[in-house]
Structure 1
Amino acid sequence: MKVEYKQNKLQRLGFSFERGGVHTARTMMLVELRALLSYVDKADAVKAEYLEAVQTANCLGKRSGKTRTLTFRHLADLYALDPGLLVFRALRFFWLRDVDGQPLLAALCAYSRDPILRATAPFVLGFQEGATVAREAMEEFIDAQEPERFSKATLKSTAQNINSSWTQSGHLAGRVRKVRARAVSTPGTVSLALLLGYVSGLRGESLFKSDFTRMLDCSFEKTIELAEDASRRGWISLKRVGQVVEVLFPNLITAQEMELLREQN
């Protein structure tokens, strides 16, 4: 019951715990996300404006109305596209301020909303840099989570989509043969990872050792360094005295959301 209560709170902030997932059909769609956020350039644009951009203006250049509808649905499932939800609002906040971090920012947002991507994170992140991550191994891993949930064909395409997403995020490299690479972490990506950990209930030094910061592919010391850079830029507030660390997000978390987090804790 406690887990369900916490998940309900996190859903109100933009997380998703639905059993499905876009990755049975598509990748994390970084190219489309970039095009959409470039076309709809207002940070406070509402979800209907993103829908209009995709469906009516066809800003993503899709051939049919059905494809446009599906594309929008997948993007909304992965990224919410709703400024009323903290996870998407934070993504947009850092998106323009930290262009180099865009692939990892998208991956962190998708990770918080797509269960299949989230489930495969420990598998991919567990490989040493330079190691081969075969599609077949990914298929086996996905199948082991829920044996026989997917047909062989769906399992193969899902593994391909997942490997493609981890390539888009910078964790894998290569077109056919996928090799573990190191993702590019930046002040913005560290800030978003810390925010996701914060709303999940972590505080202090634990924020720098979460599943979200593990996505950054950098050491504890480097994560602190990038967080200090973000704090100097005014994106987050970081205070550090010896081993005591306090991170706050005055630009991002509203008073209402803080109230929700206090209830959660």
Structure 2
Amino acid sequence: MSWILLRFWTLLVYLFMFLPIGVVILLSFNANQFGSFPITGFSFRWFIRLANNDAILRAFETSLLLGALTAIISTTLGVLASLALIRYKVPGQNMISTLLIAPILVPEVVLAVALLLFLNALSINKSFFLLLMGHVIFTLPFVVLVVQARLVNIRRDVEEAAMSLGASPRQTFFQITLPLLAPAVFAGMLFAFTISFDDITGTLFWKPGGVETVPTQIFAMLRNSISPEINALGTVMIFLTVGLPLIGIAIVRKMSTKSGG
């Protein structure tokens, strides 16, 4: 009986979490311009209007560029930091590891306000570069954790065997270590991109005037009125932020199988 109640309670929790998402997706195809129930017909008109909205298209371009740059920088720094902390003895290793992971432990709004106050104290104006650095700070810990988890399972003697056969440390990294790390590197990059693309809290504090990402554009549109275009934009965001990780998981599993991991 207790298991039945637990399953029923779990089902209610999942419905509470995901039913609003289903409603947003359903209303995005509603022909009714008021975007409410009852649904009067099935239509793609709001997606078409979304594709013709210059402000939203600019926000998408900004989010894609910001997410891609964040993923590249965070992944590069995360791989280098993980190699240094796992493969070598670094002075203050525990402190460095704690500092790298600290942004996960601190609430994002606290981190956003702290960085904003720090920039104001240095009389540094907001810019796209500073927005990018803020996203890197927030996404770097996820990359470090994913890469380190993979790296500790890669046997050191495999790399030593390559170097004993005449390979340089650089050749060993690119031909032995990196291919074995590839699933974790790809997963970390995907994490960084998705988190950056979907972030709103830090972006609201760090973005310069005139720059909008997709989440901040949705927030700005909600201030005026609830348009069916917002439902369509929300649906696109849902498929991106849910679909990309699912595709990434499938690719990572395939890569892990091929690499023998």
TM-score (norm 2): 0.27
Larger Rg: 2
More helix by share: 2
Report the TM-score when normalising by structure 1.
Answer: 0.27
Bigger RCO of structures 1 and 2 (CA < 8 A, at least 6 apart): 2
More strand per residue: 1 or 2?
1
